[in-house]
Amino acid sequence: MSEAQLGLLTATPIIVVFAGMLRAMGVLSTVATVSAILLSVGIATVLFTTQ
C-alpha cells in the first residue's frame, strides 16, 4: 500500500465524521451532508483504485 492510499484511508473517515458533526450542529443540511459523504467516498475510491 502506497503512502497516497494510506492518506486516503485516513482522510476520508475524517471528512465523513466532520460532515456528520457539522450536520449535528445544524451547519449543513441533510442533502449537503449526504452529498459530502458520497462524493468524498466516491473520490477516495477512484483515487485508491488508480494509485
- CA–CA separation, 4 vs 17, rounded Å? 20
Among the listed residues 15, 48, 14, 46, the one whose alpha carbon sits nearest the alpha carbon of residue 33: 15
> Residue 35's pLDDT is what?
97
CA atoms of 41 and 27, how far apart (whole Å): 21
Q: Which pLDDT tens digit goes with each residue over 1-51?
A: 899 999 999 999 999 999 999 999 999 999 999 999 999 999 999 999 997
pLDDT of residue 12: 95
Residue 32 has what pLDDT?
A: 96
Predicted pLDDT of residue 1: 85
Element (DSSP H or E) covering residue 6: helix 3-24
pTM: 0.86
pLDDT of residue 37: 96
Do residues 10 and 47 make contact, with C-beta atoms less than 8 angstroms apart? Answer: no
